[in-house]
Structure 1
Amino acid sequence: MRIQDYLKQHKLIMDGAMGTYYSRIENNQNAVSEYANLMAQDKIRGIHLSYIEAGAKLIRTNSFAANQQVLNITPAEQVDIINASYELAAQAVKESGKEVYIACDIGPIPELGGRTEEDILEEYRLICDTFLRHKPEIILFETFSDMVYIKRLAAYIKAVAPEVFIITNFCLNKNGYTSKGISARTLLEEIADTKEIDAGGFNCGIGSGHMYHILKKLSFPENKYIVAAPNAGYPEQFQNRMIFMDNEAYFEENMQRITALGIDIIGGCCGTTPAYIKKITDKIDLKEVQRGIRVKQSQKATEQKELRTNDFFELFVPGRKVVAVELDPPYDAKDDTILACASKLKESGVDIITMADSPMGRSRIDSILMSIKLMRECGISVMPHVCCRDKNMIAMRSGLLGAYANGIRNILIVTGDPIPSESRQSTTGVFDYNSVQLMNYVKEMNREHFTEEPIYYGGALNYGRGPVEKVIERMEKKIEAGARYFLTQPIFTDEDIDRIIYIKSKVNTKILCGIMPLVSYRNANFIKNEITGINVPDWVINRYTPDMAKEEAEWAGAKIASEIIEKLKDCADGYYFMLPFNRVSLMDKIKIV
């Protein structure tokens, strides 16, 4: 019987964990089950048989981590391991004498080591081709964090073998998001919209209790079968080992509640064993087919509420140049000077203050907290920078929620400067996200939490980083991730101006052109020689002298800035001023056109 026909009449039970169960049997948490496809075949076949005897109607090949990077293997060794994984599963099914489905299990390939997207896609195709030679009925992608590769791979598989049943499962955290910041709701919508996918849902990452609470808030697409395979729970450290507690009864109770929501395929992930599968097989009525809360393709959950306008974004109108000024927060708790600077900028007619997030990797007052204080005490619009370098995804989410609760509606999302070399032994960069990933995460938070008054966010435009077409390609990824505007690096040269004009002609977005009025001969030489990504030409340096007075040097910097603005006026939607040492008096010296 085809799996589609079985699912029309039954719930389907998958097996449980392979990797953690194998390491438990070996009494070695570092044991890698995929190697055992060649080195300990009887053990892998025995695990498959144990799950079948426990009642699993679908078993997964022992190939989740069978990629070159994780196992440190050659393509030829990879093919051998994958072939063995399918053959061992098939042998176990034959030995059991039962009708059991086999899913070819494909896990995510780490995006590390400088490999390109095309390199990784090619390896995925190798894995798929190896499995397809066995003429499988099911291919399963599991524990993924987005659809980037899956969409193309699903189309690739269906073009070669249209009869293959494709399942895609994603790994969520306790808040219902993947590590790429994509919500469970959005993933279900993407699954529904991808015709090549037959079933999809969630596995790993969370225990059965959290899985239930996430799933009960969702509506499921009517055109797909839905999968749930949570972990046994959360591991604890015991005698230098990470172990899962045995809680089969608790797991089974939650799986009953999950199944009652209308889930079609259930099973277990990390920490589960044949005992878990036996428990749910004995307790859950597999013939009670309930489709749960289904929504049509055209019905995306709830209707969109009317959005409130964003005061800053509304300033982008023809004939008006938006003015943003960046301030650096203090290194210490003394904020009198920066408050005075903000008040002065408000008097000068500046539209918004952007607040740097520990630039150059040196700790300052938190950009969000400082922005909130400026907004409240000075009555000026603010845009804190949110940098991916210093906070993990938990702290990032907390900070964004706190910013929103305190009235922040505009942020600039940046990947962030690296940690200074002298500090790297004691300080580590986090980088759970890059800027595009964090933008996607905020996009999801807007949909989930901030629907009536979303956060507007922009991105950095490093216009000189590599070929211009690559710069445009990255901009388009940020726009797809929800970026509404871009703030550029400081612009000085005619070549950089020409590049900005070209980019603006190719990309439909708002661009605030970076202007940095240099304030001394020393300042100009420092920026030219020590800050990467900023091209300060010799003619700029030559406008200063080492013995130039402070006021004279400021006027020189202001005049240069005014000249650059004049050249940019036909392509810039506004200007993003970076004032060295927070010299806000410069704004009264610069001519903005």
Structure 2
Amino acid sequence: MGVKAYLKQGKPLLFDGAMGTYFAARPGRAAERCELANLEHPEEVSAIHRAYLEAGCRAIKTNTFSVGVDLAQGKHALARQIIAEGARLAREAAEPFGAFVFADLGPAPQDKEHSPAELYCLQLDLFLEQGLTCFLAETLPTDDGIPELARYLKRRCPDAFLLVSFAVGADGVTREGALGRELFRRTAALTEVDAAGFNCISGPLHLLRYIEGLERGDTLLSVMPNAGYPTVVGRRTLYKGTPDYFSRRMVQIVGAGASIVGGCCGTTPEHIACAARALEGTSIRCPAAPAEKARLRVEAGDVNPLWEKLRSGKRVVAVELDPPADDDLAPFLEGVRTLREAGVDAVTIADCPVGRPRADSSLLACKLKRELGVEPLPHMTCRDRNLNATKALLLGLSMEGVHNVLLITGDPIPSTDRDEVKSVFNFNSRKLARYVSGLNGESLSTPFQIFAALNLNARNFSVQLRLAQEKEECGVAGFLTQPVLSREALEHLIQARAVLKGKLLGGIFPVVSHRNACFLNNEISGMYVCDEIVSQYVGKDRAEAEELALRISTRIAREIQPYTDGIYLMTPFRRVELITKILKAIG
């Protein structure tokens, strides 16, 4: 009997629990890699399989979760051994119980040489050699490579059963910043996928609440939560969720529409035994359509003047003004007032540029919006905030009427400070854009318009262009470019205009001295002033250099106009008056 035939009987399919955490809890095994136990401690792996089967599960996973890492590292022989032994041990354990054996694939690592699809398909080939036809891709933070995996599997083995499971937190977001609902929707739409669902990170109650509002159609739903949430005791990580509590939630999860259930981190044979007893006689039920929840938010949302102007086809002017390094805000505010009177559409505020601490860009953005009525565009870096802190900040910005953000990875902390101050990068700008885009659809009455940076001065600009296209796929609606101060940068801008769909604000930086030009070329990443421009500043005093900056910036503004939707002026050394002269000259 196959998996589909089993489920047609109307009873849920119960999986095993967590091989990894259960193996790590055995004496002397906490520091060992679980998958290597297939080769080094096969009797222990077999004993764990039997313990879950005797507890009452009717499907077990091969002990192969991290084999994708071996393949990414070029360890093909080791991967083949782990999979061959993992498949043998699982089959031998399952046969007396008539249980299903699922080939277990963990998330494909981000690898420069191999795409996720390639790593998944390499594993499929090795599992198919062992005669396995049931597959579980689990704990996934994205669906990268899943469509290719599904198509490849069904070409190789049309009768195979494929279950795809994503790992979401209590807020329904993966560690890559992707929305679980959207991942589920896209995966369920693939005809080659037989079931989809969620596992890991969340405890049973949070996954229960999550699936209660899930639109799933007739897709077979799988839910395999953790036993609860981890607590560190001494050097051990423990899950305190009890088997009795877990089993009660399993009954509710099946009642909410899950056809396939089981356990992830922290779930032991005791958890599965208790769940098996509680589910005895339980039937799979198709849930009613999720009720529309009342939403206490303004239906129309706020107006976004900057984006409305861009969308209408009118050119915009954004000016960057560095935030103060102390608590004296007067010069900054005076500069903003001057820019407002000059007709600037938005003031962009850097987020601790060059990794040096300055006044918070988001707090300043709220102040400008509230007190001066100026449209701000705060920079938001991936440095020093995890996804929780980022969401909290975005919600605060939205409440204050700030609905445009510039997302950048951010500069690392300068090396001289790293002994005392550590950089924290949990994600990159693409992942952050995907996360903000997900919030737009889930939590916000007025969506953020997401901008990103485009480095026109990169040596390998084709890579930058590809990354920019990926950013657009993640929800980026426009780009602010690095300054055009060379013929190469202009050519790269023309390329970008031909390829990218989003709005482009062309970067202009008024170089104010020969020393300034040399500094930019040698110490600021992403900046390049061509020799022709640098040489013009030799011997110029301040007044002469500013007049030259005015002429060069005005010329560049006119050259880039056909390829941009506006300009992005960077203010050197708070010389706001120079910026106003450039704006007046441009007209």
TM over 0.5: yes
**1:117 shift after superposition:** 5.8
Contact in 2 for aligned 1:384/1:410 (Cα 8 Å):
yes
Give the corresponding residue for 1:377.
371
Q: Give the aligned partner of residue 483 of structure 2.
A: 490
Partners of 1:470 and 1:540 in 2: how far apart? 26
1:579 alignment partner in structure 2: 571
- Aligned mates of 1:61, 1:21 — CA distance in 2: 14
Report matched runs for 1:320-399 at 5 Å. 320-399=314-393
Partner of 1:2: 2
Q: Does the 8 Å contact 1:262/1:291 carry over to 2?
A: yes
Q: Secondary structure of 2:181's partner? A: helix
The Cα shift of 1:197 comes to: 1.0
Distance 1:117 1:346, change over 3 A: farther
TM-score, with length taken from structure 1:
0.93
Cα distance, 1:307 vs. partner?
7.3
Contact 2:365 2:376 in 1 (8 A): yes
CA shift for structure 1 position 158: 1.2
Q: Distance in 2 between matches of 1:553 and 1:428?
A: 39
Q: Match of 1:539?
A: 532
- d(CA) in 2 for partners of 1:234 and 1:322? 49
- Stretch deviating more after TM superposition (158-167 or 213-222): 213-222
Instruction: Tell whether the 8 Å contact from 1:487 to 1:576 is kept in structure 2 after alignment.
Output: yes
Q: In the alignment, is residue 512 of structure 1 matched against residue 505 of structure 2?
A: yes
Sort the Cα spacing of 1:317 and 1:156 in 2 relative to 1 into closer, same or farther, 3 A.
Answer: closer
Q: Which residue number in structure 2 is paired with residue 233 of structure 1?
A: 228
Q: Which is worse superposed, 432-441 or 131-140?
A: 131-140
- Range that drifts further, 181-190 or 316-325: 316-325
Per the alignment, do residues 246 and 146 of structure 1 end up closer, same or farther by CA in structure 2, a change over 3 Å counting?
A: closer
Select the residue among 411, 430, 437 that pairs with 2:431.
437
In structure 1, how many angstroms separate the alpha carbons of the residues matched to 2:506 and 2:190?
Answer: 39
Letter in 2 for 1:122: E
* 1:232 and 1:270 in contact (8 A); partners too: yes
> 1:148-185 deviations in whole A, cap 9, x for unaligned?
12221111111111111101111111211001111221
Which residue number in structure 2 is paired with residue 16 of structure 1?
A: 17
Return the alpha-carbon distance in structure 2 between the equivalents of residues 544 and 68 of structure 1. Answer: 53
Give the root-mean-square deviation of aligned CA atoms.
2.1
> Which one of the candidate residues 268, 273, 277 is aligned to 2:263?
268
Q: Which residue of 2 aligns with 1:258?
A: 253
With over 3 angstroms needed to count, the CA separation of the structure-2 counterparts of 1:348 and 1:331, relative to structure 1, is: same
Aligned twin of 1:192: 188
Per-residue deviation, 1:317: 6.0
Question: Would the aligned equivalents of 1:22 and 1:31 in 2 still touch at CA under 8 Å?
Answer: no
Aligned counterparts of 1:397 and 1:487: Cα–Cα separation in 2: 23
2:203 aligns to what?
A: 207
User: Of 214, 222, 232, which residue of structure 2 is paired with 1:218?
Assistant: 214
Whole-angstrom distance in 1 between the partners of 2:552 and 2:568: 15
Question: 1:474 Cα shift?
Answer: 1.6
Q: 1:269 to 1:129 in 2, by over 3 A?
A: same
CA shift for structure 1 position 268: 0.4
Contact 1:264/1:291 (8 A) holds in 2: no
- Identical residues among aligned pairs (%): 35
Would you say the 8 A contact 2:133–2:157 is kept in 1?
no
DSSP 3-state at the match of 1:167: strand
SS at 1:118 equivalent: coil
Q: Are the aligned partners of 1:236 and 1:242 in contact in 2 as well (CA < 8 Å)?
A: yes
Asked if structure 1 preserves the Cα contact closer than 8 Å seen for 2:72 and 2:119, the reply is: no
CA separation of 1:44 and 1:28: change in aligned 2, threshold 3 A: closer
Following the alignment from structure 2 to structure 1, what is the Cα–Cα distance between the partners of residues 421 and 250?
A: 43
Unaligned runs of 5+ in 1: none
**What is the rounded CA distance, in whole Å, between the counterparts of 1:546 and 1:137 in structure 2?**
76
Local SS of the residue matching 1:312: helix
Distance in 2, matches of 1:423 and 1:72, equals 33
2:552 aligned with 1:560, yes or no? yes
Mark the CA change 1:319 to 1:310 in structure 2 (over 3 Å): closer, same or farther.
Answer: closer
Aligned position for 1:87: 88
> CA offset at residue 463 of structure 1?
2.3
User: What is the CA–CA distance in structure 2 between the aligned matches of 1:102 and 1:165, rounded to whole Å?
Assistant: 11
Report how far residue 372 of structure 1 moved: 0.6
Which sections of structure 2, spanning at least 5 residues, go unmatched?
Answer: none
Find the aligned partners of 2:236 and 2:312 in 1 and give their Cα distance. Answer: 63
Per-residue CA deviations over 1:315-364 (Å, capped at 9, x if unaligned) read: 12677421000111111222111111111110000000111011111111
> Any conservation in 2 of the 1:219–1:293 contact (CA below 8 Å)?
no
Deviation for aligned residue 1:433: 1.5
Does 2:157 match 1:161?
yes
1:26 alignment partner in structure 2: 27
Asked if the contact 1:228–1:265 (Cα under 8 Å) also holds between the matched residues in 2, the reply is yes
The answer for the alignment partner of 1:526 in structure 2 is 519
CA spacing shift, 1:187–1:307, aligned 2, 3 Å = farther
Q: Deviations over 1:400-456 (max 9, x none)?
A: 111111111000011111221212232222221111111110111000011x42111
Q: Flag the 1:309–1:160 CA change in 2: closer, same or farther, 3 A.
A: farther
| Residues 362-415 of structure 1: per-residue CA shift (max 9 Å, x gap) | 111111001111111211101101101221122111111111111110000111
What letter corresponds to residue 86 of structure 1 in structure 2?
Answer: A
Shift of 1:538: 2.0
Structure 2 match to 1:57: 58
CA distance in structure 1 between the partners assigned to 2:238 and 2:74 by the alignment: 28
Answer yes or no: is 1:138 the counterpart of 2:163. no
Structure 1 CA distance, aligned partners of 2:82 and 2:174? Answer: 28
- Asked if the contact 2:72–2:109 (Cα under 8 Å) also holds between the matched residues in 1, the reply is no
Describe the SS at the equivalent of 2:319. Answer: strand
Please name the residue that 1:150 is paired with: 146
> CA deviation digits over 1:432-488, x for unaligned, max 9?
1111111110111000011x4211111111123244433332221111111111100
Shift of the 307–189 alpha-carbon distance from structure 1 to 2, 3 Å rule, reads farther
Secondary structure of the corresponding residue to residue 26 of structure 1: coil
* CA distance 1:18–1:534, shift in 2 (3 Å): same
How does the TM-score come out when normalised to structure 2? 0.94
Contact 2:117 2:146 in 1 (8 A): no
Going from structure 1 to structure 2, the CA distance change for 1:319 and 1:370 (only over 3 Å counts) comes to: closer
Find the counterpart in structure 2 of residue 289 from structure 1.
284
1:116 aligns with 2:117: no
1:463 aligns with 2:447: no
Task: Kindly state the Cα deviation for residue 290 of structure 1 after the two structures are TM-superposed.
Answer: 0.2
Deviation at 1:216, TM superposition (A): 2.0
CA gap 1:27/1:219 in 2 versus in 1, 3 angstroms: farther
Q: Residue 69 of structure 1 contacts residue 110 of structure 1 at CA under 8 Å; is this kept in 2?
A: no
Q: Summarize the alignment of residues 289-328 of structure 1 with structure 2, pairs less than 5 Å apart.
A: 289-293=284-288, 310-316=304-310, 320-328=314-322
**Given residue 575 of structure 2, which amino acid in structure 1 is its aligned partner?**
R
Q: How far apart, in 2, do the equivalents of 1:531 and 1:312 lie?
A: 29
Q: Secondary structure at the match of 1:181?
A: coil
Deviation of the 1:26 alpha carbon:
2.8
SS of equivalent residue, structure 2 residue 225: strand
Q: Is the 8 A contact 2:486 2:530 kept in 1?
A: yes
Moved more, 161-170 or 421-430: 421-430
Query: 1:29: how far off?
Result: 2.2
The amino acid across from 2:5 in the alignment is D
Structure 2 CA distance for aligned equivalents of residues 317 and 85 of structure 1: 56
Secondary structure, aligned partner of 1:569? helix
Counting only pairs closer than 5 Å after superposition, residues 169-180 of structure 1 correspond to structure 2 as 169-180=165-176
